[in-house]
Structure 1
Amino acid sequence: MEPPLPLLAVSLVLLCSAGLTRSLSITSVGHSTFEKAQGEKVTLPCTFVLSEEDEGPLDIEWVLIPADNQKKEQIIIMYAVDRIYNHYYAAMTGRMQFTNPDPRSGDGSLDILNLKSADTGTYQCKVKKAPGVQSQKIQLTVLVKPARTKCSIEGSQEIGKDVILKCASQEGSPLLSYDWRRVSGTQELPATSMLNKNTGELLLKNASQDYSGTYNCVASNRVGTDECSVELNVTPPINTAGIIAGAIIGTLLGLCVLGFLIFCCCKKHREKKYEKEVHHDIREDVPPPKSRSSTARSYIGSNRSSLGSMSPSNMEGYTKTPYSQVPSEDFERTPGQNPTFAPSKYDIAHKIGDITVV
């Protein structure tokens, strides 16, 4: 049964109207995710086709959509009124540009140079030319290659012991995978080895001297690899009993020497203390020396005063005074020492004569 003529006419009109109202459209579809390594370059595509009805000014904006919905979109670069504006996003200043210097040609793709891990995010290209408006979102993931990978050995490298070879990268985006291989000898891992690719640990159980050699570890992720090597040397067990005995003897000798030094120090301290005490006692017991010159002067002065008061009547008695009455302390001296003042009988008599004459 054929459709009624009025319905067919309406359909033709709608089809014609749809063709006449065609506006701009983005043609770079199918490129919604990109994974790149840090330091590389990426081109985020955004090509479009304009319509004859799109008569307004052409505007192209690239914005970064934050993972947090509460934050606003950040404009990265923009083309408007035949001019490029690229100073909106300081984190990418000098590292971004339009692929085509003239986006009016229908290519508004964006180049990002020297990628960093912080560049990971969702980018949106918006093309506006009134009345047409179109946009496209692209997810960019910047991965860091494994770097600064280090190998190490854990456990005693003795026959019969379990040894663990460790491998770890200090840089690199997850998920990292580790793989060990032997690069010397049979170039095959021992039969008792157990590898954990996620942690990078290689367990060698019940090690023997045949396990000795060079082992290499390769760390990898989706964008790169890095590696390191380690040398394993399995040796016979060490004589621990002799080492322990030597350590004990050495400790005892050290304690003896230390005790002897402490004893010497204490003895020296006691001797110094005793000397100080004896010296202090002697200085306190000795009386201060007497002044002989002052004693002699006082004695002579007293004699002169007494002689001056003598008269002829009593001078005879004075001449008979024994010389021994002079105080003995004024004439005390050590053998061989000359006295500072020692009056003789002749001097006394002469003095007496002088007084008599007067």
Structure 2
Amino acid sequence: MGFVMLRCALCLGVLLAGSVLGLTITSTGPSSIEKAGGESINFDCLFTLAPADTGPLDIEWILLASDNRNQDQMIILYSGDRVYEDYYAAMKGRVHFNSPDPKKGDASINITKLLVSDTGTYLCKVKKAPGVGSRKTLLTVMVKPSVPKCYVEGSSEQGKDILMKCNSAEGTNPIQYTWERISGTRILPATALLDRVQGSIVIKNATSDNSGTYRCVSENRVGKEQCTLSLSVVPPSNTAGTIAGAVIGSLLALLLLAIILYCCYKSRNKKKYEKETSHEIREDVPPPQSRASTARSFIGVGSNRSSLGSMSPSNMHEYAPKPQYNPVPSEEYERPPSHVPHPPASKVAAPNLSRMGGIPVMIPAQSRGGSIV
């Protein structure tokens, strides 16, 4: 009898508690979620109503402000059997209720094409007077690593330390890098040193056995990407020959420069000499013939006298000093030679003629026409 009464009391207590507690959120998912940008997320918010919850049903989803200086942002609302999705312009067209009829106990929402700016704390708040329930979920939107770039930095010769690097230009930290060999033995060399944070691997004292294909994986909490690298360890180069070639090349360049400078110097001196000699006066060059001699030639051409007659005393005037002529011939010299008047003959006495070195000669008398009389 006492046991039956105790059981009835417990049942009555549960009913009273349910009527007091009213609306209850029943979702038990994680309170913190990490997603990659571009993906979608589902926020669970399932609820149950109590018989005492008789008021109108309101469902609010709010993005809480990161600090007290900003206001909380309403992103979607269900009220009066109607959905309102245009509260937050940054999520317009990307946020929806999962259930077409949220009043049946499913207030969950879905956000598509996540952005880094969507990071924050989301609050699901269900009200049906007098019951009220809420649930918070922290969302962190991360950027997965971009496809990394693999390359060898420096030399890849035998006997030297070979440095291989891997780096993703984009991605939310922390990013971890892992190297592995995917050819041959598929085991990294024993002398390899791996840096997971910087994404580098150093092969100490490399040998030809270290040649092969290597893969680097770039990874963070929301995704990963990879790249491959083909490593070829080559024999050491002839350093002495390289140095000798460089020295010889430098000497040849200097020699060529010296030849060019010498040629320029010779050419400059030659031009200078030609310029100086072009202004010198040549003493052995006869002066230009004056117009006086030209005028004189007109006089002498008209008479066809014999050499014997030219040495006669009557013609000695031709050897006398001639008067200076005007540089410009006058009209008198343009006449034909037959019309040019002969200058008066100067008579030279025989003693004076012998003193001058002349020889007296008997000249027959001539007529006016030039015949001997």
TM-score, length of structure 1 as denominator length: 0.71
Residue 142 to residue 269, structure 1, CA distance change in 2 (3 Å): same
Cα distance in structure 1, aligned partners of 2:166 and 2:64: 37
Distance 2:46 2:145 in 1: 35
Mapped to 1, the partners of 2:76 and 2:180 lie a distance apart of 48
Contact 1:38 1:114 in 2 (8 A): yes
Change (3 A) 1:174 1:330: closer
Residue type matched to 2:172 in 1? Answer: S
- Which of the pair has more CA radius of gyration? 2
Tell me how far apart the structure 1 counterparts of residues 137 and 332 of structure 2 sit (CA, whole Å). 123
Q: What are the ranges of 5 or more consecutive residues in structure 2 without an aligned counterpart?
A: 1-9, 282-290, 292-321, 342-373
Aligned to 1:327: 325
* Aligned CA distance change for structure 1 residues 345 and 214 (closer, same or farther; 3 Å): closer
User: Cα 1:23–1:251, aligned 2, differ >3 Å: closer, same or farther?
Assistant: same
Q: 2:334 is matched with which residue: 333, 336, 342?
A: 342
Which stretch of structure 1 is more off in the superposition, 251-260 or 240-249?
251-260
Unaligned runs of 5+ in 1: 1-10, 283-291, 293-323, 333-338, 350-358
- Rounded Cα–Cα distance in structure 2 between residues aligned with 1:340 and 1:64: 127
Q: For residue 330 of structure 1, report the CA deviation from its aligned partner.
A: 2.5
Partner of 2:94: 95
Q: Which residue of 2 is the match for residue 35 of structure 1? A: 34
> CA deviation digits over 1:158-217, x for unaligned, max 9?
222111221222223332222222122222111111222222222211111111111111
CA distance in 1, matches of 2:153, 2:323: 107
- Name whichever structure is richer in helix by fraction: 1
Q: Residue type of the partner of 1:78?
A: L
Does residue 162 of structure 1 match 2:161? Answer: yes
Map 1:65-144 to 2 at 5 A.
Answer: 65-144=64-143
2:204 corresponds in structure 1 to 205
Which amino acid counterpart does residue 342 of structure 1 have in structure 2?
A: E
Residue type at the aligned position of 1:208: T
Backbone CA RMSD of aligned residues: 3.6
Number of matched residues?
298
Distance in 2 between residues matched to 1:92 and 1:205, nearest whole Å: 53
After superposition, the Cα gap between the structure-2 partners of 1:34 and 1:268, relative to the gap in structure 1 and judged at 3 Å, is same
Decide whether the 8 Å contact of 1:126 with 1:136 is kept in 2. Answer: yes
Partner of 2:103, secondary structure, is helix
SS at match of 2:77: strand
Alpha-carbon distance change, 267 to 132 in structure 1, aligned in 2, over 3 angstroms: farther
CA distance in 2, matches of 1:35, 1:330: 116
Cα 1:249/1:105, change in 2 over 3 Å: same
Answer whether contact 1:31 1:45 (CA < 8 A) is retained.
no
Corresponding position of 2:170: 171
Shift of 1:21: 3.5
Offset at residue 270 of structure 1 (A): 6.1
Separation in 2, partners of 1:13, 1:161: 84
The 2-side partners of 1:346 and 1:194 are apart by 123
TM-score scaled by structure 2? 0.68
Letter matched to residue 258 of structure 1: L
